[in-house]
Amino acid sequence: MLIGLARRLGSMLVTLLGVSVIVFLVLRLLPGNAVTASMGVSAGLLSKAQLAALDHYYGIGQPLLQQYGSWLSAIFSGNLGVSLASRVSVSSLIGAALPVTLELAIGSLIIGELIGVGFGVFGALRPGRTVDNLGQGVSVVGLGVPSFIIGTGLVTFLSSVFHYFPSSETFASLFRDPWLNIQQIFFPSLCLGIGIGAAIMRTTRAAMLEVTGLNYVRTARGKGLSRHAVTWRHLFLNALVPVVTMSGIQLGYLLGGTVVVEQIFVLPGLGRLLIYSINQRDFPVVQSITLIFAAAFVVLNMLTDVLYTLIDPRARA
């Protein structure tokens, strides 16, 4: 297992290095830079000497290879750089926004697991019944309707019908005002959780139906075990591996999916900070946030593989 983990860590570092190169180059291909983003049309009135001085000030006048090497060496030393737009350290900006995104991701995953596992298990036990049909309807909405449309519709419905939009107030942390924080996090979490739950529900239902007719399940029922014991000890546990796989994949995608939802619900998380930084051509912030999303994705995939060995003894062999 240790050798496998070492290999996964090595491949993870190679993946993150590739992501850093791609993000670095793509940002440089975008039209404009920090100078034009900060000065607008006034940048066209600057002389060549003034432009060169501003390029040196923002650190964008160096050769690309030198810029990338400086950024990479700074990351390995624990320094993410300074924001070109606000002149504040990138670490402090990310440190303020990261808890909001983590809270949104955890809340969305909890709602998604409740929807997915709940409808998936009960739908597999009673295929074609009311619960199963309701779950299939939820899955169609979750898989077929993008999260930004669900979010926009939810905001419009709550604000126009009930005149209720808690995100219009300043964001409250969980420790400062728990009740307001829950109100501000619940609806964006529901918006993302529907899409997560749809994928998990289909996976859970298919996995449960696959093991329902196997010999050990019929043997357990023939021995007189209760319906509850057969369902959770024999059906669900043996169908858990694909469910864990799908949950890990969805959580990885979720971190990137928060970008649009945070913008809709005015949450000061990494997604909203990323959009603002792209508009400002704030390269250090964009590069750091994208690298964090990529690192979270590969780490979650590695943890998912580790969970296999804890859930399924066959994986240890």
- The per-residue pLDDT for 39 is 60
- The per-residue pLDDT for 40 is 58
d(CA 126, CA 122): 6
> Which residues are within 8 A (CB) of 144 and not within 5 positions of it... i.e. 6 or more apart?
none
Query: How much is the pTM?
Result: 0.81
- The per-residue pLDDT for 79 is 80
Cα→Cα distances 41→12, 44, 200, Å: 42, 6, 49
Name the phi and psi angles at 172, rounded to 5.
Answer: -110, 130
Q: First-to-last CA distance in the chain?
A: 10
- The per-residue pLDDT for 37 is 60
- The per-residue pLDDT for 58 is 63
- The per-residue pLDDT for 81 is 78
Give the mean pLDDT per block of 10 residues along the chain (317 residues): 73 84 81 63 63 66 78 81 81 90 89 88 83 84 83 86 80 84 89 88 85 77 77 77 80 75 88 86 85 84 77 65
The ranges assigned to domains in the chain are 2-76, 91-316
- The per-residue pLDDT for 307 is 78
Q: What is the CATH architecture assignment of 91-316?
A: Orthogonal Bundle (1.10)
At which residue do the structure tokens 């939810």 appear? Answer: 154
Concatenating the DSSP letter of every residue in 102-158 gives HHHHHHHHHHHHHHHHHHHHHHHHSTTSHHHHHHHHHHHHHHHS-HHHHHHHHHHHH
Which token pair is 176? 């400062």
Cα→Cα distances 192→11, 106, 107, 264, Å: 30, 11, 9, 12
> Which residues are within 8 A (CB) of 174 and not within 5 positions of it... i.e. 6 or more apart?
103, 181, 182
Name the phi and psi angles at 32, rounded to 5.
Answer: 90, 170
- The per-residue pLDDT for 44 is 60
